[in-house]
Each structure stands twice: as C-alpha cells, then as structure tokens.
Structure 1
Amino acid sequence: NSVLRAFAHSADPGRCREVYSFIRRNSIPVNSYTFPFVLKAAAAAAEDSKSLLREGASLHAQVEKLGFLSDVYVANSLLNLYAACEASMDRCRKVFDEMPLRDVVSWTTVISGLNNASQFDEAVATLTQMRSAGVTPNRVTAVNVLAACAGNGDLQTGRWIHEQVRKNHWKLDTILGTSLVNMYGKCGGAAEASRIFEEMGDERNVYTWNAVIGAFALSENGEEEEAIKYFTRMEAQGIQPNETTLVSVLTSFLHSGRRRLHEARRIFSSLLDGKYGIAPTAKHYSCMIDLLLRSDELDEALELMEGGGTGTASMWGAVVSHCRAKGRPEMSEFAARKLVELEPDNSSHY
C-alpha cells in the first residue's frame, strides 16, 4: 500500500496501476486501504473519458466482488473517479445511492460531479438533501455549491452559503473568497461581489480580479464603468491579465457604445501588440467587432474581420443584421455571401 500511495501521488500515476496489476497477478492480499490509491491514480492517469469509464468499471467490479464498497473511504474514492467524468454521473449517483454510510465528502463529491456535468439545479438540490440527512457542509462543500449557484443564478442559496461562511468564521482565502465573488457577480449582485473582493486583501489572484471585473461587465445597472476601474487597478498592481480578463473588459464597453470606443480601441490594440502576453482569440475579436457595429463603425469592423482572418459565422451574421438595419443592401449582400461560404449547409442563410 505504501508503494501504491507513492505512485498515486507521483507525476506518473500510471505506475500505480502497474503495481496493482502485479499484486493481483501474484495473489497478494489487498485491503480497504489499497483501492483509494488505485482509484485516485486511475482518475489521474486516464487519457480520455472512455478509458476512465473502462478503468472505473473494472475497478468498481473488483471493489464490489471483494466486499469493500461498504467502506466509506473506498466508496468515496470510487465516487471521485466517476465524478471526474461528465458521462459517468449516472454511475456516480448509483454508487452514492447504494452507500450504507455517507459523510460530508460523499455529498460534496456528488455536488462537484454534478457541477462538472453542468447539472447545477441537481447540485443545489443535493445540498438540500444533504441538509435533510443531517450532514453539515464544510468549506469544500461551500465552494462547490457556490459554483452551482453561479451556474444557475440561485442567489438565495448562494446567500445561505455566505451566511454559513460568516457563522463558521471561515477565512476568505483565495478559493472561497473568489467563489463568493464569482457567485454574486453571476447572480447580479455586483455590489456584494465588490465588498467581498475588498475584504479579501492579499488573498486575491487573477481569477478573483476576473470575477469582480466580470460582475460589473455583466451588470445591467449602468455600472459597467466599474469594470474598467477594476481593470486599471489590476494593471497598476502588476497583476497579469489573462484571456478571460480581456473578454470581460471588452464586453463592458458594449454598454457604453461610442462614448468609450477610443478606450476600447486602445486596450484591443495593446492586446494585438502583445502587451498582455496573450494571443487574441475569436472571443476578443467578436467583442470588439460587436462594439464597432454598435458604434456604427462598419468599415473598421470589416477591416478587423478580414485583416485578422477571424470572421466567424456569428460575426458575419451580426454584420448582415447591422447592414439591414442601417439600409446598406450592398454590404448586407457581401456579408451574406461570406456567411454562406462559412456555413453552406445552413439553409437559413439563403
């Protein structure tokens, strides 16, 4: 077991499976401490979901045959393996439902798996079941439930989790604090997101900055300029933005229109020039082109699309709509042809 444990936590977890195969071939006895290491290694070493499911099913059968499924530690390890793969959530839930004993790790693992499968409503419902079963959520549960609330916009449950954070005096470290900022931002609570962000102090990282910038970028209360202020602070503090940061910042300009077009141009130009060390993506181009169209800068939008070779079907579709609204039939026809070239099988373009 010590050797299995070492390989399970190593950079080459596949070796753990080799050792386990040797154990099985030589009929060396195993116990309940063996499988958590093997299951952990299997989840880490799997190349894709198919191999993960295949390996999981094989180990699951062995665990069941040897009678170790009643051990909560072994069962939790099996849950964790299945929860790592979106396609295996049914198996994960089946193992969970058949467990004679479930602890906070069991419940939290299922919630995490449901999040991975984007089943956010189910994840929140599982929290309700967990509380009904008399199991108290911990910090890890809180982080996972906050992710679910961010996914489905459940502000009420998110606030309940925040209350548990206060009651239990849990420190707003990077992970928990960022999860709260993200939840409030995605649920329309930009002001609350900002307050928590300020409380975090030195615990903030680029993901925390992204969460608060995103909160204001998506705000429908005319607070989008706060996103730019936070981005300016971020730069001043030497925090390197990433791809998501720039998408949120450019998105925030969409609400300002022509009024702040010059500032958007400056940031986008800096992105193209390599200032941020990020390769511009279709999302960045899409935001900038959308802003140019809203500002009635059609020629510049077309130049950007053709010059960068980034014109996607959705971008050309936006150009078609803009040209029709502005009474520019020739440009509308040109954009429509581009759209057909990209998606010739889409009959709605004809």
Structure 2
Amino acid sequence: MEFARQMFDKMSQRDVSTWTSLITGYAHNRHYEEALQLIEQMHSEGVLPSKFTFASVLKACAELTDLECGKEIQDQIRKMEIEIDVAVEKALIDLHAKFANTKDGSHQNRMNEQALKFVFPIRSAGGDLGKGKQVHGHVFRTGFDLNGVVGNALFNIYSKCRNVVAARHVFDRMTNHRFGLPNGMAFGFVPSEA
C-alpha cells in the first residue's frame, strides 16, 4: 500500500476512480483508518464518491465498529441519490449486523431496522428477483431475524416478483405477521395483466 500511496500522492489530477482504488486497497488490506481519512480528503478536494467508494468506506466503518461513521456515509448516499447495488447493500447490512453483535438492547435492534428500511425498499420497488435473492442469502448468513422490516422487505421482493413459493417461505418463518402481509401474499397469487 505504501507504493500505491506514493504513486497516488504524485498524481497531478485524481478522479473518483483513483480515489476509490486507493480507498478500496486500504479497506481490503485492513487499513481502515486510512480509508476513512482518504474519503475525508476526497471530499475536501471536491471529488464526489461513487457507489464503489461508499461500499469500501462502509466496510471500513463496519470493521472499526463505527456506527456513527456508517450512519454519516448512509446519509451521504441518500442525499446524493447514489444508485444502490448489492455491494453497498451488503456493506450496510454488515455494518449494522456488527453493531448489533457488539451490544445488546432494543436500541441496536431499532438501528438495524432503520438501516434495513433504507436498503430493502429500493430492491422491492424495482422487483429485481436476482438481487433480492442475493440480499436474502446475505441476510440468512448474517443471522438476521425474519421478523419486522427484514421479513417484510423480503416478502415484498418475492411478492412483487410473483415468486409465491419464496414469499410463502419467508412468511412461514415470520412469527410476527404484520397487517398487510396476507394482502401481499394474495397480490403475489394474482396473475399480472399482459
């Protein structure tokens, strides 16, 4: 990383790709503080981060168990209306999962639900079944409970994609069935008009 940083510092012009490459390098090599310092420097030089930059910075926040940093990045993503992809979704879930695993209590659970309210509706509105399945797999691997926002979002993804088997699978594993879920299940069974 030292050589990469030297080359970066010698560049007369740096664009979002060069910034992101160095930030990602630091994050992948466990130099999380340096990755966070670089995004601050990037902002101060007027270069706007991309979704790829944000995915790496969120990883750094998660590894440092710095929820406040993660929330700031999440707010920037929202304000900039950055297109969310699976990498950013995964990084947000990882961040909030790590925070939930470090402390107990309902406050942390509420924070997880707030993060997931931001992440999942984006995919459910788009009806992207493939990406929905990827996120579902990640939710499963991180051990998230299927109640609340997580279950509702996954249920919505599958219902909107008319995958009633998967929607029913999620529904059956939820112990807290909120109002609207049975209606969503019925929606998934109704054939779409061509």
Q: Which bracket does the TM-score occupy, shorter chain normalised? A: 0.5 to 0.7
- Which residue in 2 is equivalent to 1:199? 41
- Which residue in 2 is equivalent to 1:244? 87
Aligned-pair distance for 1:198? 2.1
- How many residues are treated as equivalent by the alignment? 148
- Which residue in 2 is equivalent to 1:76? none
Cα deviation digits, residues 196-224 of structure 1 (max 9, x gap):
2122232422222222112222x1x3324
Q: 2:69 aligns with which of 226, 235, 238?
A: 226
- Which residue in 1 is equivalent to 2:139? 288
Unaligned ranges ≥5, structure 2: 159-165, 174-194
Q: 1:268 aligns with which of 116, 137, 140?
A: 116
- Which residue in 2 is equivalent to 1:19? none
Mark the CA change 1:228 to 1:291 in structure 2 (over 3 Å): closer, same or farther.
Answer: farther
Would you say the 8 A contact 1:182–1:211 is kept in 2? Answer: yes
Which structure has the bigger radius of gyration? 1
- Which residue in 2 is equivalent to 1:300? 147
Mark the CA change 1:171 to 1:243 in structure 2 (over 3 Å): closer, same or farther.
Answer: same
Q: 1:211 aligns with which of 43, 53, 56?
A: 56
**What are the equivalent positions in structure 2 for 1:49-198 lying under 5 Å apart?**
158-166=1-9, 168-198=10-40
- Which residue in 1 is equivalent to 2:188? none
| Larger relative contact order, structure 1 or 2 (CA cutoff 8 Å, min sep 6) | 2
CA distance in 2, matches of 1:237, 1:226: 17
- Which residue in 2 is equivalent to 1:60? none
Amino acid aligned to 2:91: S
TM norm structure 2: 0.60
Mark the CA change 1:269 to 1:195 in structure 2 (over 3 Å): closer, same or farther.
Answer: closer
Amino acid aligned to 2:74: F
Aligned-pair distance for 1:232? 1.4
Cα deviation digits, residues 175-234 of structure 1 (max 9, x gap):
1110001011111112211222122232422222222112222x1x33244223211122
Mark the CA change 1:251 to 1:233 in structure 2 (over 3 Å): closer, same or farther.
Answer: same
Amino acid aligned to 2:97: L
Unaligned ranges ≥5, structure 1: 1-157, 312-318, 320-350
Alpha-carbon RMSD: 3.5
Would you say the 8 A contact 2:86–2:134 is kept in 1? Answer: no
Would you say the 8 A contact 2:97–2:112 is kept in 1? Answer: no
- Which residue in 2 is equivalent to 1:41? none
2:82 partner SS? coil
- Which residue in 2 is equivalent to 1:106? none
